[in-house]
Structure 1
Amino acid sequence: MMPASTYAEYTLAELLGWPLLHFVWQGALIASISAILLAVTRNARPQLRYALACTAMLACLLWPALGIVQQWQDPQTINLETAIQLAGKASISLDLVWVRQSLLAAQIEAWLPLVVTLWSMGVLLMLMRLALGLLWVYRLGQHGNDIAVLTQQWQARTNQLAYQFAIRRQVQVKFQQDLLSPVTYGCIKPVVVMPASLLTGMAPDMIEALLAHELAHIKRWDYVVNLLQNLVLSLLFYHPAVWWISKRIDAERELIADDMAAAMLGQTRPLARALQVLDKLQIAAMPQAAMAANGGDLLSRIKRLVRPDSQPWHWKMAAPVLGIAAALLLVLQTQVNAAPEPSVPSAPVAAAKAEPVTHISAYVKTSSEHVLVVDEQSGKVLLEKNADTIVPIASISKLMTAMVTLDAKLDKDEAITISKEDVAGWHTNQVKLQPGTVLSRQTLLELALIPSSNAAAKALARTYPGGKPAFVAALQSKTASLGLQATHLEEAAGISPNNRSNARDIARLVKAAASYPELRNLASRSEGSYTVAGQTYDYQSTNSLTASKDWDISLSKTGYSKIAGRCLTMRTTIAGKPVIMVLLNAKNSDVRTDDVMHIRTALETAKPG
C-alpha cells in the first residue's frame, strides 16, 4: 500500500550544493569528451568544431539544471531530530526509509552551505563583470564618432558588404580614437566600432577585410551566442572546463568569421595582413561582452589564411581519456551507497479512534548503519533502523562479561595475575597490561568496562570458576535467560566476529545491565586509575560524552572493530525520561556522536502527539 504522503526537508544548500559539486566531475567528463571529439575533427570545417563546443557548453548548463530538478523531485532526506518528532505524534504512522551515504558524501554535505554561499558570491561578481563590460561597450558606441567624414565613406562600404552578406538589419559603423581593435555589439541594431588609428596604419583593403570579418559575426548572430556563453560562464565560473570550452568556442567562432570574410572578398591576404598588424600592436583582450577581431590565436589564424595545412595527430590529444577516468572515479566515491535502502519501519503509534492517522514515508539520513532508540519506561520504540539485523558487536560484549562475573559473586579483591594469553592480540592504547601484572578482580572489571581493556576481560574469563569453557557456558546461559534470541557470544572481550547481536537485543541487554547497581556506577564513569608496582596510571572512558556535564548517562559501553565499525549503547535521561540508545557500525566516532546529539536534541524538543 502506497503511503498517503512523503515527508521531506528541502534546503537551498542541498538543492543547489549537490548539483554544483556533481558538476565537478560532470564538467570534467564533458570537457574530456569534447576534447576527444575536437581532436578527431581537427581538420574538419570550423563550423563542426564550433557546433561541438557550443553543444558542450549547453551540456554544462543543462546537466546541473537537471540535477537541481532531480534534487527537487527525488525524495529528500530528513534528519534524526525531525524523524523522532514525527514518530512521537499519535496522528502519524511513520514509515521510515533509510538512506545510506558514503563517508565522503557525509563529510562534504556539512560544507554545502558554505559552498553555496561562496558560489553565490562568485556568480554575483561575474555578473557585475559582465554588466560592466556591456556598459563599456554601450558607452563606446554612444561616443564613438570622432571622424565624421570617414565615417560616411566607410558607412557606405559597410552597407554594400552587409548587402552582400544578406544582412537585412541596419549596421552602423563608427570610429573611435582611443580604441585599438574593431568591436561589434548589438543584435537588432548592430554597431561596428573601428579604431581611428587603423585608418593611417592599414590599407583600405585591409580595413575592408576587418569590416567583412565583423559583418560575418553579425550575420551569424554571434553577439547573442557570446552573451549566452558569458552567462553560462558566470554561473559555472568555478570549473576550469567551462573556461576551456568557452575559449574553444571563441577560437572556432573567429575561424568561421575569417572564412566567411575571405569568401566574400574572394581573397585571404588582406585579412591576414590586417591580423598581422593587430598582432604587432599587441592589443589587450577586449571585454567579453563584445565581439573583437583580435579574438582567438592571431598567429594560427594568419597561418591558416595564408597557408592552410592539416594538423597531425599528437599523443597528447589522448590525454582527455585520463579526465574521463578521473570523473568516473569521483562519481563512484561520492555516490556509492547513496541510494535508499529498505528497513523495518518503526512500530506505528496507536491513534485514538476519533483521530485519523496520516501515513507518511520519511527518508532519513544517518551515519550509523543500525539504530534503535527506546523509551525505557513505556517500552515504546522511538526510532529504529535495521534494528533486527544481526551484526558483530565488538566490545559491547563486555557488558555481558561483567554481568556474568557479578552473578558468580566472586571475591572482588582477589589478586589476578595477567598472563601472556590475556595480552595476546589487539588492545586499547590507554591500558597496556603486561604479563605478570597483578590486579584485583574489581580493578579488572573497571578496566574492562571504562577504557574497554581486552586483556582485563580475558583475565576475568580465564579466572572464572571452571575456566574459559565454563565462562562461555555462563555467557550463553545468561543470554538465554534474558531472552536474547539474536545474540551469540563465544568469548569475553568481543574480539571474535562471531560475537553477534542486533540493536533490539542490545537494548534489552542494556536494560538488564542497568538493574545492577555496580554496573550503573562503573559504566557511567568518565575516568579512573589503577596502580601497578606503586605507579598510578590514569584512563578515560571510551565514550567521551560521559565526561560532559550536559549529559546524564547512567550506563554506557562502546565497541569497535574493523568488521563491527564504531558502536555505542547507553542509558541516559533526556527530558526527564530514561532512554536507551543503540548505534552500531558508524563510519567513525565523530559521526556516531553526531547521531547521538541529533537524537537527544529531537527528544528534548519533541512535543507529545
Structure 2
Amino acid sequence: MSFFTVAYLARLEVWGLAAVCLQGALVMLSWFGWERVTRRSSPAARHRLACVHLAALAVLPAITAMVLHWTVSHMSIAPPHGSPVAELARQMASYRSFLALALLLAGVWMAGGLAMLLGLVREARQLARLRCRPAPAGLRRTVHRLARGRMGMATPDVKVAQVASPQVVGLWRTVVLVPDTLIHLPQAEYEALLLHELAHVRQGDFRWNLLQRITLAALWFHPAAWMLYRRVMREREMRCDVQALRHGAAPLALARGLIRLVGHRAPAALAMAVTGDGDFVARIHRLLGVDAVPGTPAAGARPVALALSALCLLALAGGRLGQTDTSMADLYHASSFGPTVSVLAHDDAGSFALQIRHGQVLAATVGQQALARDRIRQHGDRVTLLDAAQQPILALTVTPQDRIEWDGRP
C-alpha cells in the first residue's frame, strides 16, 4: 500500500471520526425525543427503536464516509502553482504531519476496540468452560410443555450448570442453562422464569446481543453508544417479561422469582440471563402494575422526535463538505483508488495528450501521432517523450497527483 493510499485513508478516518461525533450527538437527541414519545408504548416497540438508533450510530458515519469518497472522486485537481517538484515537497511535509496524527487516533481506536473484543472472547471462553450436565427428565418435560404448549416454538436444549440464574447461550444451537436452585423454587416462579428465557430464545437475543456488543466495541469511545446499548438491554428484558406474562406467567410469580435471584446476579455478560442488566426496579414496578412513568407525552413531542431523526439523515450531507478539503482530491488521485487521468495540453509547438495514473505516464500522443511504449521513458517524476529516431521531443515533470509541467519546445 502506497504512502498516498495510507494518507488518503487517514484523511477519510478523520472525517469519519468527525461524522461519528456529530451524528452520535444527533442520534442520541433523536432517541431522547422518541423515548419521551413512546414512554407508554410496549417494551417490544421501544426495544426495536433503541436497536434502530444503535445501528444508526454505526451505519450513518459509514455512509457519510462513502458520500465523502464519492464527492472527492468527482473533484478535479487544482492547477499547478510553480514547480510541481517544489509543490510536492511542501505537500508531502503536510501529509506526513497529518498522517502521524491520524495513525495515533487509529491506534487508540484499535486498542480500545481490541480490548472490548478480547473481553467478548473471555466471556465466550467462560461460557464454554461451564460444567453442564443433562437436565432432569421433569425439567425437560416442563421446558417442552412451556415451549410447545404455550409459546408454540421448538423446544431448546436445557442443561443444569453452575450459573447464578437461568440464561440462554448458543450462537447456532441454543441452550437454556439453569442453576440447581431453580427447581427448588415454587413451581409458578420457576415456570415464569423459564418463560422469560424462552422469550429470549424465540427472539434470537443471544445472536443479536453478540452483534450489538461488536458494534459497541467499534464505538467504545462514544458515550451515545454506551447509553443506547444500556437502553437496548433494559427494553429487551422488559420485552421478555411481557412475553412471559402473555404466555401464562403470573406477574407476582415472575416478580418474586426475579427478587429471589437478584442477590446472585452476575455481571453483564454474553449470555441472556433472566436477571440481566435491565432497570431492575422499573421491571418489578411494571410487573406489579406500579406506574413509574406518570403522565403522557406532550402533543408536540412526536414532530420534534421526527425532526431530530430527520437531522440524523441530513447529517449525511456532511460528506459533501469534502469539497472544502482540496488536498483530499490530490490524495485521492495519488492513491491506489485514483483514476487514470487524461491530460490534453498545448503550447507554441502544438498539442500533446497524456494518460497518467499515480504519476506514471501510461500513453502519450504528440500532435496526431501516438507514441509506442518504448518511446516513453520515465525515471521518477521525470518523463521524456522520444521521436522515431529516439531523440527527445518533450520533457515533463509529473507528480503522483497527476499534475504536469513541461519544458518549452522549439
Fold-level similarity (TM above 0.5) = yes
SS of the residue 1:74 aligns to: helix
Matches within 5 A, 1:529-544: none
Answer yes or no: is the 8 Å Cα contact 1:205–1:270 preserved in 2. Answer: yes
Q: Tell me the CA shift for residue 198 of structure 1.
A: 3.7
Task: Report the counterpart of residue 220 of structure 2 in structure 1.
Answer: 237
Residue segments in structure 2 that go unaligned for 5+ positions in a row: 87-96, 328-343, 360-398
Q: CA deviation at 1:303?
A: 1.4
Distance, in Å, in 1 between the alignment partners of 2:43 and 2:288 is 16
Matched residue, 2:168: 184
Range moving further from structure 2, 32-41 or 351-360 = 351-360
Alignment of 1:171 with 2:156, yes or no, is yes
Q: How does 1:117-196 map to 2 (within 5 A)?
A: 117-140=107-130, 143-145=131-133, 151-163=136-148, 164-168=150-154, 170-177=155-162, 179-196=163-180
* Alpha-carbon separation, structure 2, partners of 1:309 and 1:267: 18
1:272 positional shift: 0.6
Shift of 1:24: 0.7
Distance 2:161 2:349 in 1: 83
Amino acid at match of 2:119: R
Give the direction of change, closer, same or farther, for the CA distance of 1:34–1:212 in structure 2 (3 Å limit): same
The aligned residue for residue 272 of structure 2 is 291
Structure 2 match to 1:11:
8
**Contact 2:216/2:226, CA 8 A, preserved across alignment:** yes
Deviation string for 1:329-385 (max 9, x for gaps)? Answer: 9x99x96983769xxxxx96749758523599x9xxxxxxxxxxxxxxxxxxxxxxx
8 A Cα contact 1:30 1:59, kept in partner: yes
For the pair 1:206 / 2:203, whether they are aligned, the reply is no
What is the aligned counterpart of 2:103 among 98, 113, 134? 113
Query: Match for 2:144: what amino acid?
Result: N
| Separation in structure 2 between the aligned mates of residue 209 and residue 351 of structure 1, nearest angstrom | 91
Q: How big is the shift at 1:205?
A: 2.1
Q: Deviations over 1:13-49 (max 9, x none)?
A: 1222321232111011101111110111111111111
Q: TM-score, normalised by structure 2?
A: 0.67
Identity %: 28
Q: Deviations over 1:523-575 (max 9, x none)?
A: xxxxxxxxxxxxxxxxxxxxxxxxxxxxxxxxxxxxxxxxxxxxxxxxxxxxx
- Write the letter of the residue equivalent to 2:71: D
Distance 2:36 2:43 in 1: 12
Quote the Cα distance in structure 2 between the aligned partners of 1:75 and 1:340. Answer: 9
For the pair 1:28 / 2:25, whether they are aligned, the reply is: yes
**Native 8 Å contact 1:88 1:608 kept in 2:** no
Alignment partner of 1:51 is 2:36: no
Q: In structure 2, the residue corresponding to 1:262 is in which secondary structure?
A: helix
Q: Greater helix percent: which structure?
A: 2
Q: Distance in 2 between matches of 1:195 and 1:160?
A: 19
CA offsets per residue over residues 63-91 of structure 1, 9 Å max, x none? 122123223322268999x96699579xx
Q: CA deviation at 1:238?
A: 0.9
Shift in CA distance, 71/336, structure 1 to aligned 2, threshold 3 Å: closer
Q: Which amino acid aligns with 2:199?
A: A
Displacement of 1:151 in angstroms is 2.6
TM-score w.r.t. length of structure 1? 0.46
Which of residues 64, 69, 72 in structure 1 aligns to 2:69? 72
Question: Residues 182 and 73 from structure 1, CA distance in 2 versus in 1: closer, same or farther, beyond 3 angstroms?
Answer: same
Offset of residue 109 of structure 1 = 8.0
Inter-partner Cα distance in structure 1 for 2:166 and 2:45? 26
Q: Which has the larger radius of gyration?
A: 1
Amino acid corresponding to residue 157 of structure 2 in structure 1: Q
Q: Distance in 2 between matches of 1:248 and 1:270?
A: 25
Q: 1:152 to 1:607 in 2, by over 3 A?
A: farther
- The residue number in structure 2 matching 1:472 is none
* Offset, 1:241: 0.4
Instruction: Describe the shift of the 1:352–1:247 C-alpha distance in structure 2 as closer, same or farther (beyond 3 A).
Output: farther
Q: CA RMSD in A?
A: 4.3
The answer to whether 1:305 aligns with 2:302 is: no
Q: Deviations over 1:187-226 (max 9, x none)?
A: 44210111223444x2232111111100001111112211
Q: In structure 1, how many angstroms separate the alpha carbons of the residues matched to 2:192 and 2:249? A: 10
Does residue 338 in structure 1 map to residue 324 in structure 2?
yes
Equivalent position SS for 1:173: strand
Q: Tell me whether 202-211 or 349-358 shows the greater mean CA deviation.
A: 349-358
Higher RCO (C-alpha under 8 Å, 6+ residues apart): 2
**CA separation in 2, counterparts of 1:187 and 1:135?**
13
Q: Kindly indicate whether the alpha-carbon contact (under 8 Å) linking 2:196 and 2:244 is maintained by their aligned counterparts in 1.
A: yes
Q: Judge conservation of contact 1:15–1:68 (CA < 8 Å) in 2.
A: yes
Amino acid at match of 1:234: A
> Aligned AA for 1:70?
V
Residue 61 in 1 paired to residue 58 in 2?
yes
What SS class does the counterpart of residue 309 from structure 1 fall into? coil
User: In 1, Cα distance between the equivalents of 2:235 and 2:80?
Assistant: 55
CA, structure 1 residues 124+353, in 2 after alignment: closer, same or farther (shift >3 Å)?
farther
The verdict on how the C-alpha distance between 1:83 and 1:198 changes in structure 2, with shifts beyond 3 A counting, is farther
Which consecutive residues of structure 1, in runs of 5 or more, have no partner in the other structure? 1-7, 90-106, 342-346, 363-600
Change (3 A) 1:186 1:359: closer
- Aligned in 2, Cα 1:608/1:197: closer, same or farther, shift over 3 Å? farther
Q: Secondary structure at the match of 2:160?
A: strand
Question: Are the counterparts in 1 of residues 165 and 264 from structure 2 also a CA contact under 8 Å?
Answer: no
> Alpha-carbon deviations, 1:99-128, whole Å to 9, x = none?
xxxxxxxx9887322212211222222222
Asked if structure 2 preserves the Cα contact closer than 8 Å seen for 1:27 and 1:241, the reply is yes
C-alpha contact 1:17 1:113 (8 A) present in aligned 2: no
Separation (CA, whole Å) in 1 of partners of 2:153 and 2:170: 14
Shift of residue 251, structure 1, vs aligned partner:
0.7
C-alpha distance 190-85 of structure 1, shift in aligned 2 (>3 A): farther
* CA-CA distance at 1:309 after TM superposition: 2.2
The aligned residue for residue 485 of structure 1 is: none
1:37 maps to what in 2? Answer: 34
- Contact persistence 2:24–2:224 (CA under 8 A): yes
Paired with 1:351 and 1:172, the residues of 2 have a C-alpha distance of: 85
**CA 1:129–1:352 in 2, change beyond 3 Å: closer, same or farther?**
farther
Cα distance in 1 between the residues matched to 2:217 and 2:284: 31
Contact 2:158 / 2:175 at 8 angstroms: preserved in 1? yes
Preserved contact between residue 31 and residue 241 of structure 1 (Cα < 8 Å): yes
